[in-house]
Amino acid sequence: MLRFLVWSLALLSVAPLAAQVDKSKPLTKIAFGSCADQGKPLPVYDAVAAAKPDLLLLLGDNIYADLDKTRKVTPAVIQEKYELLAAVPEWQRLKAACPILATWDDHDFGKNDGGAEFEIKDDSQKLFHDFFGTPADSPRRTRKGVYDAHVFGPVGQRVQVILLDTRYFRAGMKTGKGRVIQPYGFIREPYLPSSDPAGAFLGDEQWAWLAEQLQVPAELRLLCSSIQVISEDHPFEKWGNVPAEQARLYKLLKDSKAKGVVILSGDRHLGELSLSTKAIDYPLYDITASGFNQGAKKWREQEPNRYRVSSMPFGDHFGVVTVDWAAADPVVGLQLRDAAGEITLKQNFPISLLVPQKKDPKKDKPEPKDEKRPEGVLTPAEAAKMVGETVTVQFAVKGGRAVNEGKRVFLNSEADFKSKDNFTVLLNQKGMTGPYEKATYDTFKGKTIRATGKVSMYMDAPQLQIDEAASLVVVEPEKK
């Protein structure tokens, strides 16, 4: 009876969003975060409430239903964990302080790193909607997956919130050899980039829905993904595990010409800000807040991430997006705050930065042509994700140099070797015989090369070293 009363009270206290938010008023402060173990203290929720956000976005792992390995996860177990969260005083105060929108990740979905194969995902979805007060007549109740979207504010000050579901439809991922320990204790094989065409994160219906949402007018779009989109160098869950899906997302954002996109993500039990200047036609930020109470409690080394701007690798925290609509060019602020509510990471930029840039054909110099790649031959972006693997990569040489009196020749896929997208083939001429024995950078400049070898990292940049001429081929242009 007690459990029934707690559950009933939980349902009654989570009012539908429409009853809590005046959508005609602009949002100026949006809090967000993820990873809250309902069995541990949650004082950070009081810090979130004290920040007085207009809206709170929960990015997943809102409960942990699967930590007890002695019990099979059932609908009753998931409900029990929601009941435990409902009874937490800090959670009760948080709900009273601000409206909440949520999506899920693996632990509230019910299976660590789980996806489409999870047997009780429909039961889990119903319990999610019940706990977060999804109205009975909402389309979100009848469709598969928990994805959702809302627009807040008047014309000129509109914020669109897009909540993705990266669990319900997700296919299995490729694992490699060895074991890695995740920050929260699980030991498992590392994930490797998968080229399986069946690999999926969103499913066809959600992809079509997302394309429609990106056509909805808005000045700022908060794209909420439970797992990181841009960071791709660590061996855990991320969009980079299925490069084709990551590329599909970037292409959709680019082709839609949707302005104002900022990605909010969770999952990693750390906080960091990542930035890609190449993914779409304007700078794309991905700010990760993952540690309501699951952040490391002492110093730990940062995970590898070539796109990192700044980070908070340990400590419980939450994120905040601020918007100063009063400025002539409204200013967007991205923040991480610690459990005491103090700002530990901050970056501001004008909203006009998040607008597709028109290219000036007079300034754009023609790039060397990359000849057609055979099946199994990788692009630089694909090869960069295969550290430790032997691959064949192909690209047009756009930059490079020779050092050590010409004995080492660097061939770069980008004109600027410092570019985050650059991949280097290092031609080591020591002991080499054959056609490249006395080759220089000018031998390859502007030509397409195909190189085979093991990918490694040097100074946080991917490269492949060639020690014998047979491992390097200059690709001849196709005859017309």
Question: Band of the pLDDT at 127, cuts 50, 70, 90?
Answer: very high
Cα-based angle 11, 96, 6 (whole degrees, multiple of 5): 30
What is the average per-residue pLDDT within 266-272?
96
247, part of any domain: yes
425, part of any domain: yes
What is the average per-residue pLDDT within 285-299?
95
366, part of any domain: no
pLDDT at 417 over 60: yes
> What pLDDT, on the 0 to 100 scale, is given for residue 10?
44
343 and 268, same domain (yes or no): yes
Mean pLDDT across the chain: 88
> What pLDDT, on the 0 to 100 scale, is given for residue 188?
63
> What pLDDT, on the 0 to 100 scale, is given for residue 15?
61
Name which of 182, 307, 197 is nearest 236 in CA terms. 182
From 286, 319, 354, give the residue that closes a domain: 354
How is residue 245 written in tokens? 């899906």
336 and 300, same domain (yes or no): yes
pLDDT at 3 over 50: no
DSSP 130-159: HHTT--TT-HHHHSSS--EEEEESSTTS-E
> 222: helix, coil or strand?
strand
Phi, psi of 454, rounded to the nearest 5 degrees: -90, 135
467, part of any domain: yes
- Domains in the chain: how many in total? 2
350 and 384, same domain (yes or no): no
211 and 327, same domain (yes or no): yes
Measured CA to CA, the distance from residue 183 to residue 270 in angstroms comes to: 9
How is residue 402 written in tokens? 């020779």
pLDDT at 479 over 80: no
Q: What is the domain-level CATH number for residue 161?
A: 3.60.21.70
Q: What is the domain-level CATH number for residue 399?
A: 2.40.50.140
pLDDT at 5 over 50: no
346 and 386, same domain (yes or no): no
160 and 207, same domain (yes or no): yes
From 320, 354, 388, give the residue that closes a domain: 354
480, part of any domain: no
Range of the domain at 403: 380-475
401 and 335, same domain (yes or no): no
> What pLDDT, on the 0 to 100 scale, is given for residue 439?
80
Largest CA distance in the chain: 84
* 344 Cβ neighbours under 8 A, 6+ residues apart: 271, 312, 315, 317, 336, 337, 338
364, part of any domain: no
In terms of Cβ atoms closer than 10 Å to its own Cβ (0-12, 13-18, 19+), residue 332 is buried
343 and 403, same domain (yes or no): no
Question: Band of the pLDDT at 130, cuts 50, 70, 90?
Answer: very high
Per-residue DSSP letter, 218: -
136 and 242, same domain (yes or no): yes
pLDDT at 430 over 70: no
Measured CA to CA, the distance from residue 176 to residue 388 in angstroms comes to: 11
343 and 424, same domain (yes or no): no
414, part of any domain: yes
> What pLDDT, on the 0 to 100 scale, is given for residue 431?
56
- Which residues lie across from 317 on neighbouring strands? 338
pLDDT at 364 over 60: no
What is the average per-residue pLDDT within 173-178?
75
Cα-based angle 364, 367, 371 (whole degrees, multiple of 5): 150
Phi, psi of 165, rounded to the nearest 5 degrees: -115, 105
196 and 230, same domain (yes or no): yes
> Cα-atom radius of gyration of the chain, to the nearest Å?
24
From 306, 339, 354, give the residue that closes a domain: 354
Higher pLDDT, 435 or 259: 259
369, part of any domain: no
Among 151-160, 182-191, 241-250, 350-359, the least confident range: 182-191
> What pLDDT, on the 0 to 100 scale, is given for residue 360?
58
> What pLDDT, on the 0 to 100 scale, is given for residue 288?
98
160 and 266, same domain (yes or no): yes
